[in-house]
Structures are given as C-alpha cells and as structure tokens.
Amino acid sequence: MTDVVNNVPGEVVDQGGVQAAPRQHEHSRTGLSADALQRAISDHLRYSVGRPAAALRPEHYYRALALAVRDRMQDNRVASTQVSLDLDKKVTCYLSAEFLMGPQLGNNLLNLEIEAAARTALAALGQDLDEVLACEPEPGLGNGGLGRLAACYLDSLATLERPAIGYGIRYEFGIFKQEFADGWQIEHTDNWLANGNPWEIAKPDVNYLVNWGGHTEHYIDDAGHSRIRWVPKQVIKGVAYDTPIQGYGVKTCNVLTLWSARAVESFALDAFNTGDYYKAVEEEVTSETVTKVLYPNDEPEAGKRLRLLQQYFFVSCSLQHIVHIMDDLADASLHELPERFAIQLNDTHPSIGVAELMRILVDERRMDWDEAWAITVQTFGYTNHTLLPEALEKWPLGLFGESLPRHLEIIYEINSRFLDEVRAHFPGDVDRVRRMSIIGEGGGQTVRMAHLATVGSHAINGVAALHSDLLKASVLKDFYELWPERFSNKTNGVTPRRFLALSNPGLRELIDRTIGDGWLTHLDRLRGLEVYADDPSFRQQWRDVKRANKARLAEYVRSAVGVDLDPTWMFDIQVKRIHEYKRQHLSALHIIRQYHRIKQNPGLDIAPRAYVFGGKAAPGYFMAKRIIKLINAIGDTINHDPEVNRFMKVAFIPNFNVQNAHLIYPAANLSEQISTAGKEASGTGNMKFMLNGAVTIGTLDGANVEIREEAGAENFFLFGLTEAEVEQVKRSGYRPSDYIDGNGELQAVLGLIASGQFSHGDTEVFKPLVDNLRYDDPFLVCADYASYVECQDRVSAAWQDRDAWSRMSVLNTARSGKFSSDRAIAEYCDEIWNVGPTPVTR
C-alpha cells in the first residue's frame, strides 16, 4: 500500500503560483479538482481518522472522503446562511418526525458535481470509489414513504435555492434491520451511529430545555396581570446536530437539524447533593431514552407516552430555535414571524407545535391571545398523509393532560374559540360542532391531532389529486365547508437526482446523450425522449440499459437470498412497507395462480417472470408478518420446482431501504401499485418506477391516477374497483364469498394455501390469512382478484411484443416530469410558503 499519509501528494509548494498549474492553488478544504480532493482525503486520513497508513481500510477512506466533501458543503452552508440573513429572506421550516435520507456520500458528490474528481482522487490513493461508497451505513430515520418524501423535499428546496431548515429527531436507532429466518421476519436493532456519522456537526451550544409533566399554576406578573405558569415534573435538554443539505449544481446549502435528548446537568446535581447518586444517573438514562429509537408504523397502543414525548421534544426544540433566530434578527420582532418563517407540519406528528407556539407567545412572550393566534395560523401549514382512520393520531385526554398540562389548557381555549366560530357559521348545527371539536368523544375523550393541525394552519393539503378530493369529502369535510380557501392539493414528487442520476447511471448517460442534461433540474424536458420511442436503435439502447440494471439486481439478489434471477425475464417488482391495504397478498394470489396453471398444464407457454418483493412489516403487525412468510414460502416451493422454475421465480429482498432501492427501481419492467382504491394517499415508489421506465399495473389510487393521466391510458395497466365502487361494495355489505364462490380458480388458489402446499403440509400457519380473506377481507382482495389476473394476462401478452413494450417504457420515463419533487416544492413555495429563490454567489 502506498504511504498516503506520510507522503501527501500534490502538496502546494509554490504559494506564488508562478510555476504550479492553476488548479494546484485550490484550497484543500474547498477545491473541487481531483487534486484538491486527493490532498483533502490525505489530510483527513491523517488529522481526522488518525490511523497509520498500514491500517487503512476502505471504511477509513469513506470517512476521510465524507469529511472532505462535508468541508466543501460547509463552505457553501456559511455563504447560504449569510445571504439569506443579509437579504431578509423568508425561510421554510419542514417539521417531520422522520427523514429517510439514505446514504449521503454518492448524492453529495453528485450534487457538487465532483463524482469523477472523487473517483480519480481515490484511484490515485489506490482505492475504488464504489467500494468506498459501500461502506456508508443507511441512516434509516424513517419508516417509508413519508420520511423519504421529507428527504426528497430537502433536496429540491436546496436545488431550487430556497432557504430551508429541516427539523427532526436524531434517533440513536433507526428503523429495524430485517432478516428472514425460515421465511419469517426477524428484527434487529439498527445501530447506525456505531462507527460515527461524518455528515453531522454536533452543536452542543445550540440546546434548549423541554418541560414534561407536572401541573400549572396561576400567578400575578410584575404588571399585575393574572398569568399561568407550567411547573414541570421533568426537564430534558435537546442538543442540535446539523447535517448540510447541498443543492444540485448550485451554491445553496441548507441544513437538517436533528435534536438529541440529554439529561439536564443541574437536575443530576440536585439528586447528587441529597446523596441519591444513582437516582441522578437514572434521570440521565430516562432523559436520553427520548431519542433512542424510531417507532415503527402501525404499532399498537403500547409505549405511547414516549412517542408523545418524542413529538413534543423535537417540536419544542425547533420552535424555540426559530424564536431564538427571530430574537437575533435586529430588525424583526416576533409579530413578523409569518413574514420570516413558514413552518410546515409533515402529517400530525409535529402538530403539537400549534399549542406550543401559542404557549411560547402567550405565556413566555406575554402576547395577547388574538394576536398570538393570528401569528400561529399564518405561520403553520399542514400536510395530511392518510385517510385510514386507525392512522389518524388521537391522544387519550388523561395521558395528554398528565404529560402536557399547559398545552391541554391551551387546546381547550383554542377549541372553545374555534367552536364559537363554527356555531356562528352554522347556527343550531349541534352535530357539526361535536364532529369538528378538537376534543373527541366516544371510547374515552381524546385530543384529535388532525383537527388541531387543521384549525392551527392557514393552508391544508393532501398529497395527490384523488387524496385531496377525498380529504375534502371525508375526514376534513366539515373543515372544508368552513374554510374552503385553506385547502389545496400538492401531489408528491421524488428527486430525479437520487432516483435517476445517482441510481441509474446507465439511463442517465443515454438520456444525456439523447436530449442533453438539462432534464436533471427541469424534468419536464424528458418529453424530448418521446420522439425516440419509435426509433429502433434507441429502443435497443434503452433495453440494453434495463438489461444491465436487471443483471446488477440479480447479482444482489443472488448474494442476499441465493435465488438466481435471469435478466432476460420480465422483472415484476413490488417494494414498499408490508400492509394489508397495499395488498402484497393479492400479488401472492396471482403468483400461486400461475404456479397452479403450470402444474396443471406443464406444456403451458408462459412468458417467464421474476417476481421481486421487498418491504418491512411493523414488528407487531400479525397479518403483515404472515404475508411475508407466505411469499417466502411460495418462493421456496416455486424456486425449487424444476417444472415451474423455468417460467417463474420469486425473491423477497430482505431489509428494503434506500440503499438497495437504488438497485431495485432501475431494474423493474413492471411496477406493482395495487392498493385498494382510496387507501394509498399518494405513493412515491410508483413515481420512482415510472421515472426509471417501468410500466405500472395499478388501481386508480393515490398518484396512480395522475401517473396514468401523464403516461396515457394505453401505457398503463389498469384494473380493479374505483374508490366510489369500493365504498359502494362496502356499504351494501361486502361478502368475500360472493366473489370466491363464483370463481373456481380463486377457490383453488386459496385451497392450495390452506392445504399446506407451501408449508410442508402445515395447515395452521396460513389459516389466519386464508380465513381473513374468506370471511372478512377488509381490503377487497377477493373483489379485485378477477380483474387483477385478467390484467396480468394483458401484461404478459404485451411483454411478448418487445418493441411495443419498449415504447411504453420510454414513454413512461418521457412523461414522468410532473413527478419531480422540484415541481412539488415549487408549488409549496408559490402557493403556501411564499418563499422565493435566493441565489448564493461566491
């Protein structure tokens, strides 16, 4: 190994610059050339990693390169802050309990446009960039779509040069790691910080105290006014960790601030003085528990108090930080908060912010209520992400009052004034008042967080056209009737930087060669590909790229689960959280049907397909975990049956995350988006597939509706009941047997599962699943079965015509421009946040 540490190459010897090449002058903290990067890596190996040359492994080069890249972003970060302060620019604050960022190094190299330089620099040090990139652990601080959306939006905000701060929680353990044992999901803790995190900068001096529990009391202030003060039971400290967020091809570098919980030293001292040393240590342990672990979705009620504390903790720290910045602005007073900051609530998780801002303004800043309320409503916006009743957050009143006694009083006051407004608008409509109350009745009183968020925001939006319409017609109907002007739609988007340029370099190159590279920031320009959809040589290149991506995924699947996939086959992929509403089991039924047809008729001519799955089930979600077991069991049977495995294979990729998503989306021919209509708010996986040239089989749900509109109905495989039909079927008393009894094939498929065909004769293991489908089927799997398999037959027929399929594939990519998160963020900025571009020039 070369002695890179002791013999630093390219050291700038000639400060006068007479003889040295100009780029030799680039600073090793900021220079973007391969040479400057090489010096930066060498410096960090010596001064930050601090290991002898002989002991350097790729992970150390990863750390050194990451630090070198962070230096370059940090420089932009300082300039970005300065410019937005100098110009009094309004800042967007995106509050989200989850940010599913994915690996940072590759994306930051891409956004700084120094990927080639980094590759050269590493090569000069005897290292391979891809090997170094593979050393980065996944920062899995989110469950799925909602957290990934927040990450895509940070990328677009920076790329569109909008000043922004992402605020969230620095979970010590992210989403669990998924493994399979005998086909069952096993969860492992995700210790993502084990080897440190080179991207974050700890800011121990940026810290705030957060109260919890206790009671409130009245007192008379200096001016003789009656006031209320909160006497907490516990105080926790929040410390900021900042991660720079670099825009693509611009100087703008924003920040993601994540809060980490600490014990408050003075409390510990107190206990120490009374001799209770261990009590003090215990205090520390409980305080730091607050940001210990991310809650998986769909978990039952248990452990709720800590979740409320997590939410309040990060929201309180964030709002205190914002108010602190306002105080530091010489020319601004808190009355101008809505002109300086837009605060977006990503779902109801941060909605306690409405009451917290009121507490800060009224109790701490002694502002009068009406003024404080006007400021609050003007500052907040609320994005709703779900219509599923079980996913709408409600806190039991008792728990809420014990935890946040002052906030409960404030919420009562907000509610009382709000309900007066409702009564004034709808005199005598007592039932409406009951429906709209922030305090829910029935099954014990609750605080309805969606109502709090709605009442406290000037703008409320859904995340796809259909979802926003349903929101106005169902969950928030009464609110829409009161304030129609507050409601709008902002269809989700995904960043084309990570989900095309970074993860599909082959396609990026082909597109660049064909229409130039402007599409990466103006995704509508992909339309320029339409005219090549009928060009035979272009189609061939298009197929070659897809083939290479499938080979890359096949290699990964082989090493992960030992299943051999043939890249000439159709890759039919469904990756997303495992949930009954997403209907992975509908897909499973179709696979069993195909298996059954081949077994019945071994001469059958079937276009071979690889069925690929990925996704985690919430650890406590019984049915979802059984669906995973079923798919693995089917795969085991099919993959080992020589009569069948010539036509089909099934692979469940363990631990679906952003890192392996990079390999998965670009390899798909067919994208499965088969949720029960009306249940998927938007979906973003559907957009990533489309962007990468997959054709969708899907229901009219979430953004599928708009994907089909954009792609053209002839380039989309539609099946299933519409949302209106789903509601109709349910209203008239849905009985799955009505669909099973008349369908011999479906009977046979369910019978095969029940008979133990895929479970070595065990008839118990899948009984709950089969019984659920036969007797309950809340997501209408049986009702949509016939339509789905008929549609799959059309897919198979279409696949036989390679050119026609390639045409559909090209047109899907060409027409995916709408689904850029740049478009979505531009809409939020123009229509909700009123935040314009602030170019940074240095």
Ligand X SMILES: *Cc1c(COP(=O)(O)O)cnc(C)c1O
Q: Would you name the residues annotated as active-site residues?
A: 385, 576-577, 582, 684, 688
Residue (38 or 659) nearer to ligand X, CB = 659
Q: How far is the CB of 110 from ligand X (least distance, A)?
A: 17
Angle between helices 58-86 and 105-112 (to 10 degrees): 50
- Using CB under 6 A, which of the segments 165-173, 430-438, 650-658, 774-782 binds ligand X? 650-658
Cβ atoms within 10 Å, residue 137: 18
Distance between CA atoms of residues 624 and 582, nearest Å: 10
Contact call for residue 658 and ligand X (CB under 6 A): yes
Q: x/- contact string, 401-440, with ligand X (CB under 6 A)?
A: ----------------------------------------
Nearest distance from residue 348's CB to ligand X, in Å?
Answer: 19
394-396 and 446-448: which strand pairing? Answer: antiparallel
Distance CA 679, CA 688 (A): 19
Quick one: which segment of 229-237, 296-304, 344-352, 652-660 binds ligand X (CB under 6 A)?
Answer: 652-660
Distance of closest approach, residue 363 Cβ to ligand X, in angstroms: 40
Our finding on whether 198 is near ligand X (CB under 6 A) is no
693 binds ligand X (CB under 6 A): no
**What are the tokens at 297?**
């979705």
Which among 343, 432, 338, 351 is positioned nearest to 385, based on CA atoms?
Answer: 351
Q: Which is nearer to ligand X, 647 or 656 (CB)?
A: 656
The Cα–Cα gap between 815 and 715 comes to 11
Place of tokens 């077991």: 629
DSSP secondary structure string, 388-440? -GGGS-EEEHHHHHHH-HHHHHHHHHHHHHHHHHHHHHSTT-HHHHHHH-SEE
Distance spanning both ends of the chain, measured CA to CA: 39
List the alpha helices (DSSP H) in 291-404: 304-328, 337-340, 353-359, 369-379, 397-403
Residue 662 in contact with ligand X, rule: CB under 6 A: no
Q: Which of residues 531-590 bind ligand X (CB under 6 A)?
A: 576-577
Of the pair 489, 660, the CB lying nearest ligand X is at: 660
Segment interacting with ligand X (CB under 6 A) among 299-307, 623-631, 657-665, 712-720:
657-665
- The C-alpha angle 747, 748, 749, rounded to 5 degrees, equals 95
Neighbour order of strands in the sheet with 439-440: 394-396, 446-448, 439-440
Collapsing DSSP to helix, strand or coil, 344 comes out as strand
Residue 402: name the closest of 200, 268, 214 by CA: 214
Nearer to ligand X, 357 or 707 (CB): 707
Q: Name residues contacting ligand X, limited to 240-269 (CB under 6 A).
A: none
x-marked contacts with ligand X along 607-646 as a string, rule CB under 6 A: ----------------------------------------
Report the alpha-carbon angle 545-549-551, nearest 5: 115
- Rounded least distance, CB 148 to ligand X, Å: 5
SS3 266: helix
Kindly indicate which of the ranges 257-265, 333-341, 382-390, 681-689 contains the residues binding ligand X, using the contact rule CB under 6 A: 681-689
Which lies closer to ligand X via its Cβ, residue 251 or residue 688?
A: 688
Cα 347 from Cα 42, distance rounded (Å): 44
**Segment interacting with ligand X, rule: CB under 6 A, options 125-133, 382-390, 654-662, 764-772:** 654-662
Hey, what amino acid is at 174?
G
Residue 802: other Cβ atoms inside 10 A: 11
Task: Choose the stretch contacting ligand X; rule: CB under 6 A; options: 110-118, 291-299, 318-326, 651-659.
Answer: 651-659
Q: How far is the CB of 253 from ligand X (least distance, A)?
A: 23
Using rule CB under 6 A, residue 174 touches ligand X = no
Question: Shortest distance, CB of residue 359 to ligand X, whole angstroms?
Answer: 35
User: Does the protein bind ligand X through residue 781 (CB under 6 A)?
Assistant: no
The neighbour count for residue 269, using CB atoms within 10 Å, is: 10
| DSSP conformational letter for 137 | P
How many residues would you count in the chain? 842
Question: Under the criterion CB under 6 A, does residue 661 sit at the interface with ligand X?
Answer: yes
381 binds ligand X (CB under 6 A): no
Closer residue to ligand X (CB): 247 or 614:
614
What burial class does residue 752 get, using C-beta atoms within 10 Å of its C-beta: 0-12 exposed, 13-18 middle, 19+ buried? buried
What minimum distance in Å lies between the beta carbon of 171 and ligand X?
16
Residue 438 has phi, psi (to 5 degrees) of: -70, -25
Q: Cα 826 from chain centroid?
A: 19
Q: How many CB atoms lie within 10 A of CB 555?
A: 13
Binding characters for ligand X, 126-145, by CB under 6 A (x = yes): ------------------xx
Residue 465 burial by Cβ neighbours in a 10 Å radius (0-12, 13-18, 19+)? middle
**Nearest residue (CB) to ligand X, 467 versus 576:** 576
**Minimum CB distance to ligand X smaller for 148 or for 467:** 148
Nearer to ligand X, 342 or 707 (CB): 707
Q: Which is nearer to ligand X, 174 or 685 (CB)?
A: 685
Q: Does 657 sit near ligand X (CB under 6 A)?
A: yes
Residue holding tokens 């071979």?
A: 608
Q: Could you tell me which stretch among 58-66, 555-563, 683-691, 794-802 binds ligand X (CB under 6 A)?
A: 683-691
Report in angstroms how near the CB of residue 98 gets to ligand X at its nearest. Answer: 11
Closest CB to ligand X belongs to which residue? 685
Supply φ then ψ for residue 475, to 5 degrees: -55, -40
Q: How far is the CB of 495 from ligand X (least distance, A)?
A: 11
Residue among 407 and 576 whose Cβ is closer to ligand X: 576
CA distance 12 to 777: 70
Judged by CB, which is closer to ligand X: 701, or 777?
Answer: 701
- Draw the binding track, 148-167, toward ligand X (x: CB under 6 A; -: no contact): x-------------------
Cβ atoms 528, 817 nearer than 8 A? no
| Least distance from ligand X to the Cβ atom of residue 617, Å | 13
CB-based contact 422:233 (threshold 8 Å): no
Q: Does 688 bind ligand X (CB under 6 A)?
A: yes
Task: Write down the least CB distance from residue 294 to ligand X, Å.
Answer: 13
Taking the complex as a whole, how short is the minimal distance between the CB of residue 55 and ligand X, in angstroms? 34
Q: What letter represents residue 8's amino acid?
A: V
CB of 587 to ligand X, least distance (A): 13
**Which of residues 311 and 684 has its CB atom nearest to ligand X in the complex?**
684
Over the window 471 to 510, marking each residue x when it contacts ligand X by CB under 6 A and - when it does not, the resulting string is ----------------------------------------
For the purposes of burial, counting CB atoms within 10 Å of the CB of 232, is it exposed (0-12), middle (13-18) or buried (19 or more)? Answer: middle
Query: Judged by CB under 6 A, does residue 685 bind ligand X?
Result: yes
Residues that bind ligand X (rule: CB under 6 A) add up to a total of 13
Residue 684 touching ligand X (CB under 6 A)? yes
Question: How far is it, in rounded angstroms, from Cα 463 to Cα 14?
Answer: 57
Residue in 244, 353, 381, 683 binding ligand X, rule: CB under 6 A: 683
List phi, psi (to 5°) of 99. Answer: -135, 105
Q: What residues make contact with ligand X under the rule CB under 6 A?
A: 144-145, 148, 576-577, 656-658, 661, 683-685, 688
